[in-house]
Each structure stands twice: as structure tokens, then as C-alpha cells.
Amino acid sequence: MASEQTFADRAGRATIMSQTVGGFPVAFAPGDSELLPITFDVYIQQCNDKNSLIGSQLQTYSTNAGLRFGHTNGIKVLTRRAKDFVLSMVSLKPFQKTISSQSSKITRAPTKKKTVPPPGTPEKAKRNQGELSYADIVNNFKVLITLLTDIGAPYAPPSTELQVANLTTSRTQLETYNTTLGNLTGQIKVGQGERLIMFNGANGLKDKMKAIKKAVKSQYGGSSPEYNSVRLIKP
């Protein structure tokens, strides 16, 4: 699958072709009006707009993926500290085994930092590895908070960030990251599919560029300077 830069390059080559035929001394007059520079330029701009939108979504995904990675590590730290508080209290001995077991489910969950989003292409979008483990952390952290809540008043750590209300806020933030990234994955996948059709589909950018070459060859001749100026521009 072509990279983001490849799509940008292709749109750039289409612009060069449009500018070239638009500068012919004898006006380019294709039978199909869609091949006229003024009309073709509109289509090229639509392609550029789609590239820009997907690029922006990919950057947003990357930024939020980094924030989620850092926030998840913070939750693991809070989990260990909350567990240590429970283990430090002799009076909480009946809860210690359960809290330790639940804590390990959070701190051992595999997470991988994604500096670039999984949906780099439509094919790769469905292989969004890591989403399940982040969802697991949310669910396991929720169970841990419930267990700490059930302890009641004896669970009273002096550090405010370990209190149930603040742990709940941290869990909610991770849920928000998961939702945001999940939605972006869908948007990017759909956008990339639409873009592929715009570039490679029937009467898409590739077909239009090939048609322009044929029209130039027909109008000016196969050995003409006009045709030679566009024939090597790769669609």
C-alpha cells in the first residue's frame, strides 16, 4: 500500500501535468471537458483536501496514542502504590491477596507505544494491535477500584491521587483515550478507502492522467513537443 507521501507526490505530478497542458501555445482542447485544466484542477484539489484530512487525522491519532501510553503507565504506577498501601495495613490482610491478584492483571498487561497509528493503510487498520490490552487495563482497573471501594473507610491512603475518586478519574480518562482512538481508526480507514477510489478507481486521478496523455497525443501527434512534455509524467 502506498504511503502518505506517495499520494501527495501523485497529486503533485497531476498538478504538473495540468500546468503543462495549460501552457501549450495552441490551446489544449480534449473531447472530454473533465480533462480541461480548469476542471482537472478542481479534482486535484479534492485529492489534496483528502490527503490533508487523512494526514491531520493520522497526526491526531499519533498524539493521542502517545498521551494514552503515558497515562496508562501512570495508572500502573497508581495501581502498585494502591496495592502497597493495602499490603502495608495489617488490618487489611483479608483483602491483600485479592488486591494483589487484581493489581497484577493491570501492571502485567502488555502495552506498546504507538508513535504512528496502526491504521497507516486500510489493510493495516484492522490489525490495530494493543487496543484489546488497553481495554483490558480499563476493565481490570475498574474492578480494582470496586475492590478498594468495598474495603470502605479503612482504605484511606494519605496520598490524594490514590483515593477512589481520583483513581476513578484516571480510569475515565483512559476510557476517553480508547474511545477517541477507536473512532479515529474508523475515520482513517474509511477516508483511506475513499482516497484509494479517488486515485485508482474508475475515472479517478490515474485514469484522468492517462486520458490526458491520450488526448494530447491525439491533438498534437505522438512526436509533438506537447506530447513529449507529458508522456513521461507518471500517473
- Residue 12's CATH number: 1.20.58
pLDDT value of residue 3: 74
Distance CA 202, CA 78 (A): 55
Identify whether 235 is part of a domain.
Answer: no
CA distances from 40 to 7, 23, 29, 205 (A): 17, 14, 13, 9
pLDDT value of residue 130: 54
Supply the range of the domain harboring residue 203.
4-230
Contact at 8 Å (CB) between 89 and 154? yes
Distance CA 95, CA 101 (A): 10
Identify whether 155 is part of a domain.
Answer: yes
Contact at 8 Å (CB) between 195 and 1? no
At position 184, the amino acid (one-letter code) is L
Distance CA 84, CA 100 (A): 9
Contact at 8 Å (CB) between 146 and 91? no
pLDDT value of residue 12: 97
Distance CA 45, CA 22 (A): 16
The domain tally of the chain equals 1
Distance CA 212, CA 11 (A): 15
Identify whether 21 is part of a domain.
Answer: yes
Q: Dihedral sign, CA of 24, 30, 35, 38?
A: positive
Could you tell me how far CA 184 lies from the centroid of its own chain? 6
Identify whether 210 is part of a domain.
Answer: yes
Q: Which stretches of the chain drop beneath a pLDDT of 50?
A: 1, 115-118, 121-129
Identify whether 45 is part of a domain.
Answer: yes
Q: Which residues 6+ apart lie within 8 Å of 167 measured at CB?
A: 78, 82, 141, 144, 145, 148, 161
The pLDDT tens digits of the residues spanning 74-96 come to 999 999 999 999 999 999 999 99
pLDDT value of residue 122: 42
CA distances from 176 to 67, 129, 198, 202 (A): 11, 18, 33, 39
pTM: 0.83
pLDDT value of residue 125: 41
Identify whether 150 is part of a domain.
Answer: yes
